[in-house]
């Protein structure tokens, strides 16, 4: 009877043991499966991480024959590194079976559901951008070859655009964003800035200018080349280091949030080097970066007392740098290249020294007050950002009004002093950017409908400019333009309005994603770096209104967009 009563308990124990064993076996199977799935991911992360490092170290520093073949050297370096990454990832995907997993997911979810869940708005904008660029290339006859390679322009043909797209979809999927990527970029960026500073001081320590004509010496700097492209690269350093200095919290004694004071000092030093290099770059393009930087950073910086303090200190630091450069120029007028343009407007501002001193005093007082009251990291009142918004709107309205007035009354524009040349638009505005922009829009209006939709083909502006406007161009400007000197107009005329809208969509959605990380500052290790990357892209987008898209500096901007996309994708997975 006892045996009969105990039997159910024994069976129950056996059943539980069997179920536990089955669950344990199932878990071991899942663990082994997860390990098998993780192995390819780790490999792909390593490959994309290595590509980032090589692009941050080798790409900006590599030089072959001084400045004489710099564009070709940088272009080939980017293409080789990106093609190598693509081939390794594709081969590994096939060999590891990862490619089959994607096919399985498509069958499981259905193509529509898979597509919508896999590709976000930025991805779709990228697809439209590269797809339309491809159609534009095919419809560029009889210049299909030139549209593909960009060999008659600045090597920004479909081949380069395809490299951007390939790298974007690979890096945004597989990269595990690490802090040291950004620090590597800043270390190399500081070196590039310092080399540019020595060029301004006529030291030519690399010997790149020995074979150059006297009139060309001041037009090239560091390992980047033309001063407009050089200041674009320096702007990356300023934007990244500046935002990191303003936003980064120092480790507290109670916890490990934030970073060491050494890192914050490093960001500050990098920012200072960038400010000085930007001014010595002697290109007015850099001031658009400063306009975007000082104009938009407060919208995130003023959310905390720390951000307000450091923004004021950053502004004081910049003006101090201008004063230091002014002193160097006056003390050694024969040993420096000299600076023209907007720098002189700022340097000659009669209240610059008092303004700088006031900013330093306010910044130091805020630091002391917050330290004594232990409010270094407190949130600021919401009114701070609202006040800044009002200031920006008022300044923008006044700016537009001044421009309208100056152009309506050019004879009275002399009252604006050194700003006159920037306020009054004409063919000679911006070293004849006024002419080339006008010419671009006039020729676009004459295009047949096919070219109005898809453009003439990537990087083919020079072909049509010389074909239809060569005589006019040389008579007015005295030179031949192979680019519109405005990235957005360049895309409009070469790959059409649809691709242009898609490109702007990529920029806007990426910047929005990056800035959204401001809400993750306390929980996300790389949040401040992603926010800083967003401002780097924003500064580039503003400067692109007067600059050229080149495979010397533009690939770096694309890399930061890729890292923002990768971090955003990783954040969504964690959620």
Q: Is the pLDDT of residue 374 over 80?
A: no
The CA distance from 384 to 75, in Å, is 45
Q: Band the pLDDT of 25: cuts 50, 70, 90.
A: very low
Is the model more confident about 516 or about 37?
A: 516
The CA distance from 9 to 142, in Å, is 86
Q: Is the pLDDT of residue 37 over 50?
A: no
Q: Is the pLDDT of residue 62 over 90?
A: yes
What is the per-residue pLDDT across 324-342, written as a single tens digit (0 to 9) for each? 999 999 988 888 988 888 8
Cis (ω within 30 of 0) for the bond into 185? no
Q: Write down the pLDDT at residue 519.
A: 82
Domain locations in the chain?
A: 38-574
Question: CB neighbours of 8 closer than 8 A, spacing ≥ 6?
Answer: none
Instruction: Please give the DSSP secondary-structure letter assigned to residue 378.
Output: P
Of 232, 230, 258, which is closest to residue 245 (Cα–Cα)?
A: 258
Q: What is the phi/psi pair of residue 494, to 5°? A: -100, -35
The CA distance from 459 to 154, in Å, is 7
pTM of the model: 0.90
The CA distance from 218 to 9, in Å, is 92
What percent of the chain shows pLDDT beyond 70? Answer: 90
The CA distance from 370 to 152, in Å, is 58
Q: Are 160 and 551 in contact (CB under 8 A)?
A: yes
CB-hemisphere CA count at 13 Å for 173?
18
Q: Is the pLDDT of residue 194 over 60?
A: yes
The CA distance from 197 to 216, in Å, is 17
Six-digit token string for 59? 């790409």
What is the per-residue pLDDT across 199-227, written as a single tens digit (0 to 9) for each? 999 999 999 999 999 888 999 999 999 99
Mutual orientation of helices 554-574 and 527-543 as an angle, nearest 10°? 140
Write the burial class of residue 442 (CB in 10 Å: 0-12 exposed, 13-18 middle, 19+ buried).
exposed
Q: What is the mean pLDDT of the chain?
A: 89
Q: Write down the pLDDT at residue 377.
A: 64
The CA distance from 245 to 272, in Å, is 11
In the block, tokens 């950053």 appear at 314
Buried b (16+ CB within 10 A) or exposed e, 93-127: beebebeeeeeeeeeeeeeeeeeeeeebebbbbbe
């Amino acid at each position: 009877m006892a045996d009969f009563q105990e039997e159910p308990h024994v069976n129950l124990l056996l059943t539980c043991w069997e179920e536990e064993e089955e669950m344990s076996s199932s878990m071991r199977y899942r663990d082994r499966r997860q390990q098998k799935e993780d192995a390819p991911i780790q490999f792909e992360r390593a490959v994309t991480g290595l590509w980032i490092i090589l692009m941050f170290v080798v790409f900006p520093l590599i030089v072959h024959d001084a400045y004489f073949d710099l564009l070709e050297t940088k272009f080939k370096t980017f293409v080789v590194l990106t093609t190598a990454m693509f081939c390794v990832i594709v081969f590994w995907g096939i060999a590891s079976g990862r490619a089959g997993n994607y096919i399985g997911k498509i069958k499981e979810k259905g193509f529509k559901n898979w597509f919508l869940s896999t590709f976000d708005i930025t991805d779709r904008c990228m697809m439209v951008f590269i797809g339309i660029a491809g159609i534009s290339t095919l419809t560029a006859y009889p210049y299909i070859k030139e549209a593909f390679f960009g060999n008659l322009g600045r090597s920004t043909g479909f081949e380069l655009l395809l490299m951007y797209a390939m790298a974007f979809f690979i890096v945004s999927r597989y990269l595990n964003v690490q802090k040291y990527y950004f620090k590597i970029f800043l270390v190399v960026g500081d070196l590039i800035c310092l080399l540019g500073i020595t060029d301004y001081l006529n030291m030519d320590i690399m010997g790149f200018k020995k074979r150059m004509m006297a009139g060309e010496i001041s037009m090239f700097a560091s390992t980047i080349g033309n001063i407009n492209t050089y200041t674009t690269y320096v702007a990356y350093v300023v934007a990244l280091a500046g935002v990191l200095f303003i936003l980064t919290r120092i480790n507290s004694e109670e916890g490990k949030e934030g970073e060491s004071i050494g890192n914050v000092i490093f960001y500050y030093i990098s920012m200072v080097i960038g400010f000085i290099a930007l001014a010595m770059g002697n290109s007015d393009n850099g001031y658009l970066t400063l306009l975007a930087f000082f104009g938009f950073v407060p919208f995130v910086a003023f959310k905390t007392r720390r951000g307000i303090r450091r923004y004021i200190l950053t502004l004081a630091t910049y003006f101090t740098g201008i004063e230091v450069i002014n002193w160097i120029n006056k003390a050694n007028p024969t040993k420096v290249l000299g600076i023209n343009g907007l720098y002189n407007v700022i340097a000659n501002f009669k209240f610059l020294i008092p303004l700088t001193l006031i900013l330093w005093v306010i910044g130091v007082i805020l630091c002391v007050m917050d330290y004594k009251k232990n409010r270094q990291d407190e949130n600021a009142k919401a009114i701070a950002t609202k006040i800044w918004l009002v200031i920006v709107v008022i300044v923008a309205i006044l700016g537009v009004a001044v421009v309208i007035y100056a152009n309506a009354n050019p004879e009275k524009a002399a009252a604006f002093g050194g700003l006159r040349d920037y306020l009054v638009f004409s063919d000679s505005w911006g070293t004849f950017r006024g002419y080339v922009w006008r010419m671009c829009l006039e020729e676009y209006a004459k295009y047949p409908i096919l070219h109005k939709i898809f453009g003439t083909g990537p990087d083919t502006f020079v072909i049509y400019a010389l074909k239809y406007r060569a005589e006019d161009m040389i008579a007015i400007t005295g030179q031949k333009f192979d680019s519109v000197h405005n990235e957005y107009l360049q895309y409009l005329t070469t790959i059409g309005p649809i691709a242009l809208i898609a490109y702007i969509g990529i920029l806007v959605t990426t910047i929005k994603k990056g800035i959204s990380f401001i809400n993750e500052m306390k929980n996300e290790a790389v949040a401040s770096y992603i926010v800083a990357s967003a401002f780097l892209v924003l500064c580039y987008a503003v400067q692109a209104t007067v600059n050229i898209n080149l495979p010397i500096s533009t690939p770096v901007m694309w890399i930061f967009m890729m890292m923002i996309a990768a971090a955003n994708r990783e954040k969504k997975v964690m959620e």
